[in-house]
Chain A
Amino acid sequence: MSGFNKVVTSYEEAMAGLEDNMTVIAGGFGLCGIPEGLIAQIQKMGTKGLTVASNNCGVDDFGLGLLLPNRQIKKIIASYVGENAEFERQMMAGELEVELTPQGTLAEKMRAGGAGIPAFFTATGVGTPVAIGKEERNINGRDYILEESLTGDFAIVKAWKADRYGNLVFRHTARNFNPMAATAGKITVVEVEEIVEPGELDPNEIHTPGIYVNRLIKGNFEKRIEQRTVRSA
């Protein structure tokens, strides 16, 4: 790495500095748009006690689910955690702390965290278990709760294309939480399908500017599909 060149060539280098008990913000929705190789690297490193913020926690043998068998995750902040038997077992047994967070609130927590906004008021969750312990305020006749934003020691992100400077383009619904996650990491690591030279991406079409990105690695993606659904011919 030098200057604005963010490219690293090994996963060891990509995740260097990740230590026990750190917080990791992860992009992805279900198994769509997840940094597959970076998750595999965390599994390989065996880092423990992690707090992970991600919309979901993968499935038993793929995505963030890979970090469950060796109990690498201490706490997960997610909106939906179905489709994962080992997850359910650890949660029910009290081995895994789960902070269920509404999807829009989770996205906004990451966005706000990356933007230097420490908290925000939202109507989402008022009168529900999500509101417990949170400041409530009536603004112009409506009740809101105060939600604190989220930042991570690391953010792990999946993008479609990047240039060496870390400018990112996402593809279809694989974008999801990735742009917000990219802004919310002290160290943001991005795994991409293709790396091009600066100038090759149209500046008008860059979704995430390289200023948010610290490390960039080209990965090979399985892109597993959770619910393969086709229309009848």
Chain B
Amino acid sequence: MALTRDQLAQRVAQELQDGFYVNLGIGIPTLVANYIPMGIEVMLQSENGLLGMGQFPSEDEIDADLINAGKQTVTMATGASLFDSAESFAMIRGGHVDLTVLGAFEVDVNGNIASYMIPGKLIKGMGGAMDLVAGADNIIVTMTHASKHGVSKLLSNCTLPLTGRGCIKKVLTDLAYIEIKDGKFHLLERAPGVTVEQIIELTAGELVVPENVPEMGV
């Protein structure tokens, strides 16, 4: 079975380490905050100027001056700090964020990522995504492995305008956990019940498959 959105988030959450500063993109990455393992401390960075993002507010706590990068109302965790956008991107571009999780339309074997524009169709802008992929060393891309029509999103070469060049090393899809190195995809894990053959079928770029591909623990 392909992973659900929540299972994707759960698997990403297993990569969190105690003391990590983490930036979570909009969509599935946001759900990762619900699965932070017990006993570890993680500080969430929101690029509009908040380090130490808390949970969503109760009705009484709603404050129009306190939102996340997805423009949702949020709260501040204990020990939070507030700052302006230049400071926020100094953290991001200066490589101070330990883990970045974001979505994408396509990735390719050279670590290129396309996530912000479909010419003629969707032109909303890159927001902070280009800064995040250029500034972070440790990035996990979460996406579906293929489109609804079965077209692979893991390609030899991205077809859409790039968000970043050569910056992606880890991709978690609904079918597989994949590492990108030496110009190839490397299959690390498969979703429970998903076969290696299914993954090969839906991966357009060159995929290296080891003899034993463990199932994800989700």
Q: Give chain A's interface residues, CB within 8 Å of chain B.
A: 29-33, 55, 78-82, 88, 91, 98, 100, 102-108, 110-111, 122-130, 160, 170-180, 207, 223-231, 233
Most buried by B among A30, A103, A173, A223: A173
* B125 engages A79 (CB within 8 Å): yes
Which 9 interchain pairs have the tightest Cβ spacing?
A127-B165, A104-B89, A104-B131, A82-B124, A223-B64, A102-B130, A107-B85, A80-B125, A229-B72
Contact status of A176 and B73, CB under 8 A, knowing A104-B93, A125-B130, A230-B56? no
Residues in B neighbouring A129, C-beta threshold 8 A? 117, 161-162
The reply to whether B89 and A226 contact each other, CB–CB distance below 8 Å, is: no
Contact residue among A78, A124, A170, A178 (Cβ-Cβ distance under 8 Å from B125): A78
Q: With A176-B85, A228-B73 given, is the CB distance from A124 to B131 under 8 Å? A: yes
CB <8 Å contact, A32 and B48: yes
Beta-carbon contacts under 8 Å, B51-82 to A? 55-59, 62-68, 70-74, 76, 82
Q: What is the size category of the interface that chain B forms with chain A?
A: 35 or more
Say how far A140's CB is from chain B's closest CB, in angstroms: 14
Tell whether, in the assembled complex, residue B134 and residue A108 are in contact, meaning their CB atoms are under 8 Å apart.
no
Given A177-B85, A229-B72, also A80-B126 (CB < 8 A): yes
Q: Are B82 and A175 in touch, CB under 8 angstroms?
A: yes
Q: Which of the residues B49, B58, B73, B93 comes within 8 Å of A225, measured between beta carbons?
A: B73
Interface residues of B in 61-120 (CB under 8 A from A): 62-68, 70-74, 76, 82-86, 88-89, 92-93, 112, 117
Expressed in whole angstroms, the minimum distance between the Cβ of A86 and any Cβ of chain B is: 14
Inter-subunit contact B71/A226 (CB<8 Å): yes
Task: Give the distance in Å from the alpha carbon of A207 to the alpha carbon of B164 in the complex.
Answer: 33
* Inter-subunit contact A128/B130 (CB<8 Å): yes
Q: Give A100 to B126 CA distance when docked, in angstroms.
A: 7
Q: Is the beta-carbon distance between B65 and A174 smaller than 8 angstroms?
A: yes
| Chain A nearest Cβ from B100, distance in angstroms | 13
B86–A111 contact, CB under 8 A? yes
A176 to B123 alpha-carbon distance, docked (Å):
23
Give chain B nearest CB distance to A122 CB in angstroms: 7
Which residues of chain B in 120-140 are interfacial with respect to chain A, using CB atoms and an 8 Å cutoff? 123-131, 134-135
How far is B96's CA from A92's CA once the two chains are assembled, in angstroms? 38
With beta carbons under 8 angstroms apart, the residue of A126, A173, A223 that contacts B82 is: A173
Asked if B156 is at the interface (CB within 8 A of a chain A CB), the reply is no
The answer, among B59, B63, B86, B134, for a CB contact under 8 Å with A180, is B86
Q: Does B142 contact A (CB under 8 A)?
A: no
Could you tell me if A228 and B62 are in contact, using CB atoms closer than 8 angstroms? yes
A177 touches B130 (CB 8 A): no
Q: Which residues of B contact A229 (CB under 8 A)?
A: 56-57, 72-74
A104 lies within 8 A of B124 (CB): no
Q: Which of B49, B117, B135 contacts A175 (CB 8 A)?
A: B49
| A82-B88 Cα distance, complex, nearest whole Å | 22
In the assembly, what is the distance between CA of A33 and CA of B84, in Å?
Answer: 11
Residue among B56, B84, B92 making CB contact with A231, cutoff 8 Å: B56
Chain B's closest residue to A227 (CB) is: B72
Interfacial chain B residues near A175, Cβ < 8 Å: 49, 82-84
**In the complex, chain A residues whose CB is within 8 Å of the CB of B129:** 102
Chain B nearest CB from A229 CB (Å) reads: 4
A55-B124 contact given A30-B71, A102-B130, CB 8 Å threshold: no
The verdict on B173 contacting chain A, using a C-beta distance below 8 Å, is: no
Complexed CA–CA distance, A130 and B83 (Å): 26
B172 at the interface (CB under 8 A from A): no
**What's the Cα separation between A126 and B163 when bound, in Å?**
9
Q: What are 27 of the A-B contact pairs (CB < 8 Å)?
A: A29-B67, A30-B71, A32-B71, A33-B65, A81-B124, A100-B123, A100-B126, A102-B127, A102-B129, A104-B86, A104-B92, A104-B131, A111-B86, A123-B93, A127-B112, A128-B130, A128-B163, A129-B117, A172-B50, A175-B49, A175-B84, A179-B84, A180-B84, A180-B86, A224-B64, A227-B70, A230-B59
